[in-house]
């Protein structure tokens, strides 16, 4: 009798534990997005539908999910948002399009964005982003479009970016970068206009010429 009761109790505990784990994992992308919402100021209320109590964020405006209810797209260009990016966004491992251009977002690009392994497009142009371009972005093997122009980025262009073989567009113009412009990998093909208006950025790196960090 006592044994049977203990058995049932153990079973109930396992079921409760399992459902807690499942609900946490299904909502973790919503939690990451909600952390982002909390860091933003949203005068036009474009994030009003972002209700963290829903099972997933797939019905929220400006969010797109795949058939497995994983977030694939954030569309918040031109939305008058200010505030900053958050490391939690790095958890969105199915995210393909991060569209946050033409806002007034400040702060730096979190290191954790290097975990966005499905990312195709990172559009952060026309914001007020500061700090350095993280080296970890070199891990984004799916990346095709990297538009960081018209911000206040400093430091060098990380050489890790030359290893992203799919990269078709990389625009870092109108920032405050320094050092030299890489010339290998996809950087062989980028026009010089994608680097202009960085007063401390030197011309293309030549064999044995200017050092990688010259002017920094
Ligand atoms: C965006 O925000 C700025 C500053 O808060 C404000 O002046 C401007 O009117 C806003 N734009 C729109 C379309 O509401
Ligand atoms: C933010 O960036 C815009 C251009 O994107 C610029 O006009 C504005 O002065 C910047 N604001 C601050 C506080 O840096
Ligand atoms: C970026 O800034 C430059 C220089 O201020 C400006 O001419 C250009 O129009 C801006 N680009 C965009 C996309 O607004």
Q: What is the SS3 assignment for 65?
A: strand
- Confidence (pLDDT) at 212: 76
How many domains, the chain? Answer: 1
Residue 15 lies in a domain: no
Residues within 6 Å of ligand 3 by CB: 126, 150, 174, 197
CATH, residue 33: 3.80.10.10
* Probe residue for ligand 3, chosen from 100, 101, 123, 174 as the CB with the greatest number of ligand atoms within 8 Å: 174
Query: How far apart, in whole angstroms, are the C-alpha atoms of residue 25 and residue 101?
Result: 29
Residue 7 lies in a domain: no
Tokens 């293309």 label which residue? Answer: 204
pLDDT of 14 over the 80 cut: no
Residue 145 lies in a domain: yes
Residue 4 lies in a domain: no
DSSP 29: H
Residue 214 lies in a domain: no
146 strand-pairing partners: 122, 170
Q: Is the CB of 41 under 6 A from ligand 1?
A: no
Residue 151 is part of which domain span? 24-204
Look at ligand 3, atom 5, and give the residue with the nearest C-alpha: 174
Q: Is the CB of 104 under 6 A from ligand 2?
A: yes
Residue 12 lies in a domain: no
Residue 1 lies in a domain: no
Size of the chain in residues? 216
Query: How far apart, in whole angstroms, are the C-alpha atoms of residue 139 and residue 128?
Result: 24
Kindly report, residue by residue over 90-141, the tens digit of the pLDDT: 999 999 999 999 999 999 999 999 999 999 999 999 999 999 999 999 999 9
| CB 120, CB 143: distance < 8 Å | yes
| CB 178, CB 200: distance < 8 Å | yes
| CB 177, CB 148: distance < 8 Å | no
Residue 79 lies in a domain: yes
Kindly report, residue by residue over 196-207, the tens digit of the pLDDT: 999 999 887 765
The candidate with the shortest Cα–Cα distance to 125, out of 153, 150, 104, 161, is 150
Backbone angles phi, psi at 72, to 5 degrees: -115, -15
Kindly report, residue by residue over 132-167, the tens digit of the pLDDT: 999 999 999 999 999 999 999 999 999 999 999 999
Give the Å distance between the CA of 26 and the centre of ligand 3: 40
Q: Is the CB of 162 under 6 A from ligand 2?
A: no
């Amino acid at each position: 009798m006592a044994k049977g009761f203990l058995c049932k109790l153990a079973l109930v505990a396992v079921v409760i534990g399992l459902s807690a784990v499942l609900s946490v994992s299904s909502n973790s992308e919503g939690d990451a997005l909600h952390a982002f919402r909390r860091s933003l100021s949203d005068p036009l209320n474009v994030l009003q539908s972002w209700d963290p109590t829903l099972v997933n964020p797939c019905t929220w405006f400006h969010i797109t999910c795949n058939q497995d209810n994983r977030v694939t797209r954030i569309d918040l260009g031109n939305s008058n948002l200010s505030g900053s990016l958050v490391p939690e966004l790095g958890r969105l491992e199915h995210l393909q399009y991060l569209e946050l251009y033409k806002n007034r977002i400040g702060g730096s690009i979190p290191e954790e964005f290097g975990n966005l392994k499905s990312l195709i497009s990172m559009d952060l142009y026309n914001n007020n982003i500061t700090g350095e371009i993280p080296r970890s972005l070199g891990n984004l093997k799916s990346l095709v479009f990297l538009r960081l122009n018209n911000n206040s980025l400093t430091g060098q262009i990380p050489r890790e970016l030359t290893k992203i073989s799919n990269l078709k567009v990389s625009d870092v113009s109108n920032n405050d970068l320094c050092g030299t412009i890489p010339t290998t990998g996809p950087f062989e093909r980028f026009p010089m206009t994608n680097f202009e208006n960085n007063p401390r950025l030197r011309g293309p790196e030549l064999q044995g010429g200017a050092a990688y960090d010259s002017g920094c």
